[in-house]
Amino acid sequence: MINLELPKKLKASANQAHQVAAQIFRPVSRKYDLAEHEYPVELDTMAAMVEALNDSGQGAAGATLGREGKTKDSDGSNANGGNMAGLLNVIETCWGDVGLTLSIPYQGLGNSAIAAVATDEQLERFGKVWASMAITEPSFGSDSAAVTTTAVLDGDEWVLNGEKIFVTSGERSSHVVVWASVDKSKGRAAIKSFVVPRDAPGLSVARLEHKLGIKASDTAVLLLQDCRIPKDNILGSPEVNVEQGFAGVMQTFDNTRPIVAGMAIGLGRAVLEELRGILSEAGVEVSYDVPANNQHAAAAEFLALEADWESAYLLALRATWMADNKKPNSLEASISKAKAGRTGTAVSLKAVELAGTYGYSERPLLEKWARDSKILDIFEGTQQIQQLIVARRVLGKSSSELK
C-alpha cells in the first residue's frame, strides 16, 4: 500500500530547498537566461549548503539517490529515503529555476549513476564529487546501446577514446561518468560506465552549446583522446555478462527519470501559480465548487492543466517511492517521466497563450519557462522513447520485438 503523505523530515528539507529557490534562484533567473555561459556566482554560496544537506542524507537532487532508504519508518516497512528527498527538493529548486538547478554543485546526473551502482569503496572516493553524465555521442542520442566510445585496459589504467556531446555541467563538474564499450564485438553488454576526473590527461572540453532554454546550465562537447583513468574507476563489474545485457548501466535511469519528472513538476507548479495570479488580476477566478464547463473558458483551461499537473506529481511520487523501497520501477519511472515531460511543456506553452501578449513578453517568466520546459521532455529519454519503453513493458515485448 503506497502512503502518499509526506514524512515531516522530508518536508523540512523541501522547505529549505524552497527558500533557496525563492531567495537565490528566482531573483537571478532572467539574468542568467540573458547571459548564457556566464558562471552563476550565486551558486558558490550554495556549495557549502548542499554539502551539508548531502552529509545529512537529504541531498537536493542526485547525490543520495539509489542508496538504501536512509529514513525507514519505525515499522521498517516504508523507506522514504534518498530518492524521495531528491524528488521533493528538485521540485522546489526547479520551481525557482531549472537551469540553475542543473548547475547546483555535487548534484549532477553522474552522481545518481555513482550512487546507484558504486561499490562502498567507490562511494567513499566518489561520494562527494560533482559528476556529470556523458552518454550521448554525435552518432546517437536515444539509442544508448550504440555507444562507440571505447575503453581499453592498459596495465592499471583504462584508456578511453571517443567524443561525447550535450553533456550537462560537462565543463563545471569535477568528474564525468562516461559510458564506453570495453569490447565492441560483444554489443550492449560490453557498455560500462567510468568515473573520469575532469583533469584526467586526455579529457578536454571542445565547446559549449548555445541552447533554446536552460541557459544557466553549461552543456559541453567533451573529447576523450587516449584519456587515462585508474583501473578501479569503472562502475560495477568489468565482466561482460551477455545474459545481463544492458541492465547494469540502464539501472541508473530508474532513479534519474523520476527526478527529471520532478524538474518538470516544479517548473509546472511555478507556471500554474503565475498563471493563476494573471487570470485573477484579469478578473477570472478559478472555482473548485462549480463544474469547469460552467466557468470562464480560461478558468476551465486552468483546471484541466492543474489536473494534468496533479497526475504527473502523483506518478512521480509512486515511481520514487518504489525506487526507495527497492521495488522494480522501470515501467513506473518511464510513465512518470513521459507524463511529467509532456505536462511541463503543455502547461507552460498554454500559459503563454492564456496570458496573451503579456505571456509572450519578457516581463513575466512564462516564455522562459516554456523554453526551459522542452528539455525535460528530451533528456534522460525523450517522450517517444518513454512511451516505447512503457509499451514494451505492458505488452511483454523485448527491445528487438518492438522498436
Q: Which residues bind ligand FAD (CB under 6 A)?
A: 109, 132-136, 141-142, 166-168, 211, 219, 375, 378-379, 382, 384-385, 388, 403
Closer residue to ligand FAD, CB minimum distance, 149 or 325 = 149
Closer residue to ligand FAD, CB minimum distance, 85 or 375 = 375
Within 10 Å of residue 88's Cβ, how many Cβ atoms?
26
Q: How far is the CB of 100 from ligand FAD (least distance, A)?
A: 14
Return the HEC string of 227-292.
EEEEHHHEECCCCCCCCCCCHHHHHHHHHHHHHHHHHHHHHHHHHHHHHHHHHHHCCCCCCCCCCH
Q: Are strands 203-208 and 191-197 parallel, antiparallel or unpaired?
A: unpaired
Q: How far is the CB of 212 from ligand FAD (least distance, A)?
A: 8
Q: How far is the CB of 165 from ligand FAD (least distance, A)?
A: 7
Closer residue to ligand FAD, CB minimum distance, 168 or 325 = 168
CA nearest 325: which of 10, 70, 60?
A: 70
Closer residue to ligand FAD, CB minimum distance, 42 or 380 = 380
Q: Degrees (nearest 5) of the Cα angle 12, 18, 22?
A: 150
DSSP state of 191: E
Q: How far is the CB of 381 from ligand FAD (least distance, A)?
A: 6
Catalytic position from the list 171, 367, 380, 401: 380
Query: Within 13 Å, how many C-alpha atoms sit on residue 242's CB side?
Result: 5
Q: How far apart are CA 139 and CA 60, in angstroms?
A: 33
Q: How far apart are CA 207 and CA 105, in angstroms?
A: 20
For this structure, is 243 an active site residue?
A: no
Residues forming the active site: 380
